[in-house]
Chain A
Amino acid sequence: MKPPLFAYRAPTTLDEAIKFMAGNADAMVLAGGQSLMPAMNFRLANPSMLVDIQHVEGLTGITIESGRIVIKAMTRHRELELNADVRRANPLIAETMAHVAHIPIRNRGTVVGSLCHADPSAEMPLMFVLLDGMLVAKGSNGTRHIPAQQFFQSFLTTARKQDEIVVEAHLPVLPSGAGWAFDEVTRRHGDYALVGVGCVLELEDGRAKGVRLAACGIADRPIRLGAAESALNGTTLASGDLDAAVWTTADAVTQTDDMNTSASFRRRVLGTLIRRLVHTAALRAQNRSRP
């Protein structure tokens, strides 16, 4: 399983990189390679050119500014996962990232790369959709800020244009007092999620507010469960409220059946995860509630 031939470019500036992407319809960006290289080794991906961006200036590092966590294109999963400032600012990130493949993959793979790969069962796209993250893409026509929900269009399909390179991605700092939770059902540890759910919420006087709920693995892209969020906001998160919220997700599962999973299985799991994770997030929220 050896990769097919390609032209290789290792630009040192973003402009060079964009020119290469613009000039070759089949060019692909090579960052961490943890999604692209398996596809190439299987000869399922056959780019005419690989544009290796690891030497491009200005694409490394993590910063936190104005309530935003800024993750650059070459930031490896493990860097983000272990960053102490990020853990404080948004503990959901580390909890979610512990489920992303395995440490050696996280050492090399990049967060932005995972977003651009857009596997509907992946954890990073889910996290960005859940938190209304933002992706910043630069191309021959300038810079675009693309909200996460618009970025993920379909199975392995994003809003990124051929000549664009996503240079950074933003996640919010969690509101002080917010609770969070992430979990997924996989076959083996580290596999893609059969169903994954993320939740963030705040509590005010014992009632939920600012509820965020999203799921991966149930459709061709991560799905914000807006109706469920509405059903929970303002409630005490009693079991009847949870039932009502789960009930709204009945049609959210559109992923086709396979050997391991069926739609009814995914719905069962989705409902269970929603209930359990809202509960967990609520417990955590209480720990950080305002006086």
Chain B
Amino acid sequence: MRLLIVEDNIELARLVAAGLLTAGYETDVVGTVGEARDAVRSVKYAAMILDLNLPDGDGLSLLVELRRRMDPLPVLVLTARDGLQDRVTGLRNGADDYLAKPFAVVELVARLEAILRRPGQLLGSSLNLANLVYDTESRQIFIDGIPRVFSARETSVLEILLRRQGRVVPKKNVEDHIFGLTGEVASNAVEVYVSRLRKQLGEYGARILIHTIRGVGYLMAEEK
């Protein structure tokens, strides 16, 4: 599985490539929009890490070009500009995720893997956190290697929080994920499922915490 890094700063590109290699990913590095265009035409990449500020143009234009061709190549945008507006623009133009400089390579790897584990992407279907493994295809949950049974709704909650581990998932998104966009949802339904999930995870000895960010949503992280 090969990744394409589009970054004009050779030193940063080299370090990111080294970090990704440690995590088990081989990479090609290009420094301009033109080279990147040629690269994606000739090689089938698993994902692209795209810097926006490139010497021969804006990385976003390349992204727009790809999406116009209906190319589903997952793209993680790296940028020095981290205004809210920039992020919205980037995501609207078809970026799968967005990371502002400076960033930790572990964060970059985590974001990449989250993209690659999306349905239809190349990475295996399992999501991991601490001693928990979740298989997205069979919807099976393993804690310390032992399969554990959760209800369908709680499994859904676990899945969406696991996919975006370390980040806050708005309560509305959890609701939509469990119940779909149709149907009335009791206002405390999500709370009920989250608290049940939390209790069961505790009982099964998962080293996982589900933080409630009051008024916003939930965040799943490893217990330290």
The finding on whether chains A and B are genuine partners in a shared complex, rather than unrelated, reads no
Interfacial residues, chain B to chain A (CB-CB below 8 A): none
A-to-B contact residues, CB < 8 Å? none
